[in-house]
Structure 1
Amino acid sequence: MSDTKRRQPRRTAKKAIFLSTAIALTSLSAAHGPMTPALADPGLTLTGAGECTYPAKQIKGTPWSLQRVLFDQLWQHTKGIDKKTGRPVLVAVIDTGVDIKNPQLTDAVDTKLGFEVRKSGKNALEKGKKGDGTDDLVGHGTKVAGIIAARPHPGTGFVGLAPEAKIIPIRQNDEKGSGTTDTMAEAIDKAVTRGARVINISQDTVKPLQANNNLERAINNALEHDVVVVASAGNDGLDGKVKKTYPAAYKGVLAVGSSDRNNERAPFSQAGDFVGVAAPGVDMVSTVPGGGQCVDNGTSFSAPYVAGVAALIRAKHPDWKQYQVVAQIEQTAERAVNAHDAYVGWGVVDPVRALTEDDHPIDHVTLDKSPARNVDAPTPAPLALGETPQERKERFATYILGGAALLVAMITGAAAVLHEHRRRRGAATEHA
């Protein structure tokens, strides 16, 4: 959930405080060219909220978000290796960096393709860093990357959905909120030139942006280069207001909301007509800097769940266009209503169905003849509108009968008490 407080992580030789709270990006520059005052502040935020320490201990069990996946079926054709080229599918993570000291990410990250965006040509991020995107003082990007492509590791049931894909780490934000929509645009352009087939963006802004701004241009450029762009919908849903967030709301971007264990919208997940699908975003386990895993919540961690599925589809069907990958994910999602809605879009992503009900590509969602894909959707309880006249008569008759019975019981009881009282008085008189 969004949090306007900025927290500085304190690092020691043994432990550092991991803060993946939603950090507001404070720079005022949103696009190139003149802007009106109302459009001057993009207000980008990281869309995850949580706190833990890192390095962290291993979480042994399999997270609930992975228990719902049959990996034998999901990975029967690929785990992220392109069937045509034989090389890993490249997924760009535009975030706070991806730490490669975590053993589950050491082989998952392509450091040669990594990049660090510098605001206005200056080092707006931490000084003295390598610039390859592998420094993550916040931990947010490390979690995002893990959900996509973390390698299996002894002692934990957590693994990425596409554990043979490769991550391009692009560090565009930090614990100070140094990123802007301009640096985001630059990061997207860099991901395209680095050969990304999927881009994950777990940041958003609810501020209005001028049409044809730099961020929109970069998104359109990525789509034109046949890149699947996945973005988090945002965590401001508690107020119940439907509103657009960017870049998720741009046409062609697959916007992802959060679902809970019951396949229902998580309360914090931002609602809006732009939401494409939902994915698990509550109690999400993932990798943290230095090693181990911890738990977090937010649409920041729903987006990479979908990005991992997109990477698998791109690996299995390398000739499918980016919009066909998006349509496949939306078409095969589990939904309780046979329509799109503002809360979970076309439904909750089903990784196995997306990789198995794929005989041919589709360009857009086609509604099923059946009422819903989710056969376990709850049935609304009957609504009691009030009693009928006959029911009212029966209720009154019950009251009368009950009252009469009670009156008889009281009279009988009183008579018995009086009789006993008289008997005792008579016995006392005889003994006097």
Structure 2
Amino acid sequence: MKLTCLWILFCLPLLANAQSNGARYRVEFTDKAGSVYDIPHPEAFLSERALSRRNRYHIPVDENDLPVSSVYLDSLKRHGFKVLYTSRWFNFATVAVVSPEDTAGVSKWNFVRSIKLTRPDNMLKNAIKKWSEIKTPATKSIQTEADDSYGYSSEQIAQLNGKVLHENGFKGQGMVIAILDAGFRAANQLAVFDSLFLQDRMLGIRDFVNPESNVFEEYQHGMNVLSLMGANTPGKLVGTAPDASYFLIRTEDENSEYPVEMDNYIAGLELADSIGADVINASLGYFYFDDPADNLNYDELDGKTLMITQAVETAEQKGMIVCVSAGNEGDNAWQHIIAPVDANGVLSMAAVNIAGERAPFSSTGPSADGRIKPEVAACGWDTWIQKYPDEIGVSNGTSFSSPLVAGLTACLWQEYPDKSPAEIVDAIIQSASQYASPDNYLGYGVPDFGKASLLLQETLADGDSEKQWKVSPNPFDENIRLEYQGNGLLDDASATFILISSTGTILKEERLSGRVELVNNLGALPSGLYFLQVITNGTTENHKLIKR
């Protein structure tokens, strides 16, 4: 599982000695002519694990996987630019430029599609306190003593019914989670992360903000996020994927907010792809910048306009699951979700407290084109995290609801490795508390990973047309109707239906009296997910039902 630094340096066209000073520009190229790589030999630019993931889910290697042309990069270097990193998917290079005058005429080079300033050399004073503590009244009793082997993590994991995955042996073993964030200060020194290093499950680090820095000496936000997945100190703090492996990627500059950070984010997604990550957590998002001219418009959050949104969707197409925070703008003038939450297929998280009440700061949907956003919710209000320098305490933000879900997503996928990313995400959404009646505050609600596991176990994706029994309506209110559609004989003694709760409790079991059966008086059942088994002539088929 352990990756070597030599492999990372070989496969990614990055300059480790790039200067951190100078303006940043994105140089987009017209094509990839002159590339020394080709599609028939992907092992030259993708890891064995990345290729294994592609093969498992029948994802082809295509032209946008090819690295940027080295010929074009050499031209930029000869011109005096420092190439910081490149994007395979969008065919651009991010460069550091000492003097803006050096960019004159570059846009007219025959292989350059465009050149755009993404961060000035003389940055404006940061007017956005993007990492300030979110203050909001506590609405639950905050633990003062550790609770069971999970310690302070107990309630926030139990809220997601995540302990059932752990009890069944799925704690993220063999799964790789990439974290895109602002820094991971002291993560290599804190006891809650000891097992990551002792067991060689800290696979690597990368800094796209400043290649010369050490992510363990930068801002602590990423360390806080990591603690919600990778912490493993029984009785004190345990993450949702304590046995997973991690790759830490710094893409966010905590001291400023410029569009270059969205390009850093794209580079981070591509690195995660290259190393073969399964799940990506990015508790980051964008809408306002230090220069108001760069600000996004809500209309742009339509799932297709922004490059960062397109990048998240590309990451999903490459076989990864991307988890993001919905944003903390619910109680300010913006209110909306932030980019790239608008991406199709992403798993974005609202924040609730342990009682399931929406945090007032949690950003709201829908996307600009009217889709339900965010997808689900988890504890991001009074969330127990590892803090710097060395204390366990509570904090607020959708930054913390996202990794809680991301870690359990990795555990669920570990249990069902043959399921596609879309099937895993769909099961999580279908398990959520308000799946039958979603809104744009909590999306489909708080997921139940025990239910999600049952959904995948029962292979409920089969259409009713392939089954012997048609069950309707779904969702249901008071009654359900079963109609036999099979070709075989059916008598009074040959069929039985069993209605089961999401926790496995048998609620009703009866013989069927004919080819059409009405099951009445179900109105008193709580809203949520149910399973119906119908046993016909010794054959069992499973149906999933939603009670409004």
TM-score for the superposition, normalised by structure 2:
0.52
Match of 1:49 in 2: 133
Matched, 1:189 2:270: yes
Matched, 1:280 2:379: yes
Q: 1:197 to 1:152 in 2, by over 3 A?
A: same
CA distance in 2, matches of 1:47, 1:192: 28
Matched, 1:352 2:450: yes
CA distance in 2, matches of 1:312, 1:193: 21
2:171 to 57, 80, 89: 80
Q: 1:297 to 1:136 in 2, by over 3 A?
A: farther
Matched, 1:92 2:178: yes
Match of 2:325 in 1: 232
1:270 to 347, 351, 363: 363
User: Contact 2:161–2:448 at 8 Å: present in 1 too?
Assistant: no
The residue type paired with residue 193 of structure 2 is L
User: Contact 2:285–2:327 at 8 Å: present in 1 too?
Assistant: yes
1:115 to 190, 206, 211: 206
Match of 1:369 in 2: 476
The residue type paired with residue 456 of structure 2 is D
CA distance in 2, matches of 1:197, 1:290: 30
The residue type paired with residue 189 of structure 2 is K
Match of 1:252 in 2: 345
Q: CA deviation at 1:308?
A: 1.2
CA distance in 2, matches of 1:374, 1:262: 20
CA distance in 1, matches of 2:474, 2:403: 26
**Which 10-residue stretch deviates more, 158-167 or 62-71?**
62-71
User: Contact 1:114–1:170 at 8 Å: present in 2 too?
Assistant: yes
User: Helix, strand or coil for the counterpart of 2:375?
Assistant: strand
Match of 2:248 in 1: 169
Q: CA deviation at 1:92?
A: 0.7
Q: 1:59 to 1:117 in 2, by over 3 A?
A: farther
Structure 1: runs of 5 or more not aligned: 1-25, 52-57, 82-86, 376-432
Match of 1:317 in 2: 416
User: Contact 2:225–2:400 at 8 Å: present in 1 too?
Assistant: yes
Percentage of pairs with the same residue: 24
Match of 1:140 in 2: 221
> Which structure has the larger Rg over C-alpha atoms?
1
Q: 1:76 to 1:67 in 2, by over 3 A?
A: closer
**Which 10-residue stretch deviates more, 181-190 or 144-153?**
144-153
Q: CA deviation at 1:203?
A: 0.8
User: Helix, strand or coil for the counterpart of 2:398?
Assistant: coil
CA distance in 1, matches of 2:386, 2:429: 27
User: Contact 1:102–1:292 at 8 Å: present in 2 too?
Assistant: no
2:428 to 313, 329, 332: 329
CA distance in 2, matches of 1:167, 1:289: 20
Q: 1:29 to 1:237 in 2, by over 3 A?
A: farther
Q: Deviations over 1:125-161 (max 9, x none)?
A: 7x5x34xx4x1532111111111121134x51x2111
Q: 1:347 to 1:48 in 2, by over 3 A?
A: farther
Q: 1:361 to 1:342 in 2, by over 3 A?
A: farther
CA distance in 2, matches of 1:299, 1:71: 18
Q: 1:117 to 1:345 in 2, by over 3 A?
A: same
Taking the TM superposition and a 5 Å limit, the aligned residue runs for 1:122-133 are 123=210, 127=212, 129-130=213-214, 133=215
Q: What CA RMSD, in Å, does the superposition of the two structures yield over aligned residues?
A: 3.7
The residue type paired with residue 373 of structure 1 is G
Q: CA deviation at 1:44?
A: 10
User: Helix, strand or coil for the counterpart of 1:278?
Assistant: strand
TM-score for the superposition, normalised by structure 1:
0.65
Q: Deviations over 1:291-326 (max 9, x none)?
A: 432211010001111101211111101111111111
Number of residue equivalences: 322
RCO higher in structure (CA 8 A, sep ≥6)? 1
CA distance in 1, matches of 2:333, 2:195: 42
Q: CA deviation at 1:213?
A: 4.6
The residue type paired with residue 476 of structure 2 is K
The residue type paired with residue 164 of structure 1 is D
Match of 1:149 in 2: 230
2:402 to 303, 322, 330: 303
